[in-house]
């Protein structure tokens, strides 16, 4: 089996009787064992995955299998799976076991995906490099001296290294798209509210969204079709019908208006990334799309607005880890205050502490109006920029990240430089719109470059259609 097998290829082989789900699962388990040094997984469900694969094979024989039958999937360790640890990459939850399945996990099981394990991540999804896990960093399979991106680096690396067909990640400010870009795969962040967040351990409740990593746009569309939809258990999930995303992949983007923000060519943009963006514009134009220059005037405030609001929400959400109810409790404590202080001091890593302190500061009485309230107003202006842009265009095209994957430690001592690696991705989370990263070329060191498309709310169809046009131009083997 080739390293970058798409699920489409596996599905055909299963239908023709050329392989079995059990054989496919075994192949992925062997790859995980072989590529252990990448540290993509925190838990591998060997026996469960084998048992699940046997059940799926029976269902395929009987003709009762779900739409993901034979798809081997990994799940970021921030999503609850019943009777499995959910560590969030943190020492504070190292031994915490979930009591129920997240809604997205239930959906995958229902459609017969084989769940192979939980993936490593930045602690509580805080980071752009997966260097902040309490269980060690994840290596980028393309070049192991470099980061895989974050915070869903384990999920990105698992798919890129051929350890699973697809994986679920979460995206708060780019945590699916940026690892997809660094690892050379597809990563999709759906519209806020398109996918239930029930069973997701929250970092920042008004930003977090669950989405798929895959080796091709078609696989990502297939997974999205399964996990999308209204969930009464999540009050923020939208009660809207789920379209047939696979049917949307017609390859026809004639007449589609695609906007390129003048701000996309800002300073700090790696030359090869700029060239890939220009080439993507040319390919879309050749396919019949109309490329327009647009402006997102408030985009220079994206990073500061995002980091004020996200840290404020993180500070509130992480207040529950206090040593009293669940998770890590420091030993040798004498009173309530020392229990709180010691449990949190020893349980959280440096980046989690930094963001909790920033968030607590911007929410404090003296600074609430100056920072938090002002950031909420700017967020509204950023959302308006997108609403205005989408009266002129259907999609917006930008780089996913200003650079290709950086080396370990390169930005660890300079949080601001690290935060700036999210400059192109955070806007979609601030505006609650869908976005996708597609691999598009590489730099002179052979490191993948990702191109991002941003769409209107709940218009993942157009996004996927344009993304597949780019993918096929770049990688004809994904043409079906």
* Local structure of residue 461 (DSSP, 8 states): H
**Cα–Cα distance for residue pair 404/397, rounded to 1 Å:** 17
Q: Is 175 a catalytic residue?
A: yes
**Cα–Cα distance for residue pair 213/121, rounded to 1 Å:** 14
Helix (H, G, I), strand (E, B) or coil at 71: coil
| CB 260, CB 397: distance < 8 Å | yes
**Cα–Cα distance for residue pair 257/289, rounded to 1 Å:** 6
Transcribe 346-380 into DSSP letters.
HHS-HHHHHHHHHHHHHHSTTTIIIIIIHHHHHHH
Count of alpha carbons within 13 Å of 212, Cβ hemisphere only? 27
Catalytic residue among 76, 91, 189, 472: 76
| CB 209, CB 177: distance < 8 Å | no
Q: Is 442 a catalytic residue?
A: no
Phi-psi region of 476 (alpha: psi -120 to 50; beta: other; left: phi over 0): alpha
Catalytic residue among 151, 181, 196, 343: 151
Q: Is 205 a catalytic residue?
A: no
**Longest Cα–Cα distance in the chain:** 70
Distances (CA, A) of 280 to 103, 206, 218, 231: 36, 31, 19, 37
User: Which residues have a catalytic role annotated?
Assistant: 76, 151, 175
């Amino acid at each position: 089996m080739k390293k970058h097998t798409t699920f489409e290829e596996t599905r055909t082989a299963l239908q023709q009787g050329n392989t079995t789900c059990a054989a496919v699962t075994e192949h992925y388990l062997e790859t995980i064992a072989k590529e252990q040094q990448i540290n993509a997984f925190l838990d591998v469900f060997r026996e469960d995955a084998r048992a699940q694969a046997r059940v799926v094979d029976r269902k395929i024989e009987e003709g009762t299998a779900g739409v993901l039958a034979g798809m081997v999937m990994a799940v970021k360790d921030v999503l609850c799976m019943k009777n499995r640890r959910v560590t969030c990459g943190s020492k504070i939850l190292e031994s915490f076991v979930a009591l129920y399945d997240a809604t997205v996990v239930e959906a995958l099981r229902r459609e017969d995906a084989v769940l192979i394990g939980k993936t490593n991540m930045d602690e509580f999804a805080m980071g752009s490099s997966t260097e902040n896990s309490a269980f060690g960093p994840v290596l980028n399979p393309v070049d192991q001296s470099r980061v895989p991106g974050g915070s869903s680096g384990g999920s990105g690396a698992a798919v890129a290294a051929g350890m699973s067909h697809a994986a679920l990640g979460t995206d708060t400010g780019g945590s699916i798209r940026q690892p997809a870009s660094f690892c050379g795969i597809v990563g999709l962040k759906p519209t806020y509210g398109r996918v239930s967040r029930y069973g997701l351990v929250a970092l920042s409740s008004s930003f977090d969204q669950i989405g798929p990593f895959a080796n091709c746009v078609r696989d990502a569309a297939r997974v999205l079709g399964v996990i999308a939809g209204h969930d009464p258990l999540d009050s923020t999930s939208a009660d809207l019908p789920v379209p047939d995303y696979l049917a949307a992949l017609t390859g026809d983007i004639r007449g589609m208006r695609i906007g390129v923000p003048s701000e996309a060519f800002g300073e700090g943009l790696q030359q090869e990334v700029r060239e890939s963006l220009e080439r993507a514009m040319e390919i879309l134009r050749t396919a019949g799309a109309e490329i327009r220059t647009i402006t997102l005037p408030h985009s220079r405030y994206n990073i500061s607005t995002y980091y004020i609001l996200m840290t404020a929400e993180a500070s509130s959400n992480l207040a529950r880890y206090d040593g009293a109810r669940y998770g890590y409790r420091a030993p040798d404590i004498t009173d309530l205050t020392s229990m709180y202080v010691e449990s949190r001091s020893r349980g959280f890593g440096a980046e989690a502490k930094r963001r909790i302190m920033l968030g607590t500061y911007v929410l404090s009485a003296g600074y609430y109006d100056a920072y938090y309230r002002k950031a909420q107003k700017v967020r509204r202006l950023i959302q308006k920029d997108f609403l205005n842009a989408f009266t002129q265009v259907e999609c917006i095209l930008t780089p996913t990240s200003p650079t290709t994957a950086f080396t370990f430690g390169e930005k660890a001592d300079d949080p601001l430089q690290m935060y700036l690696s999210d400059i192109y991705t955070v806007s979609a989370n601030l505006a609650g719109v869908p976005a996708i990263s597609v691999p598009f070329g590489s730099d002179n060191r052979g490191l993948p470059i990702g191109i991002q498309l941003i769409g209107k709310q709940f218009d993942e169809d157009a996004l996927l259609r344009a993304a597949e046009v780019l993918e096929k131009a770049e990688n004809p083997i994904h043409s079906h």
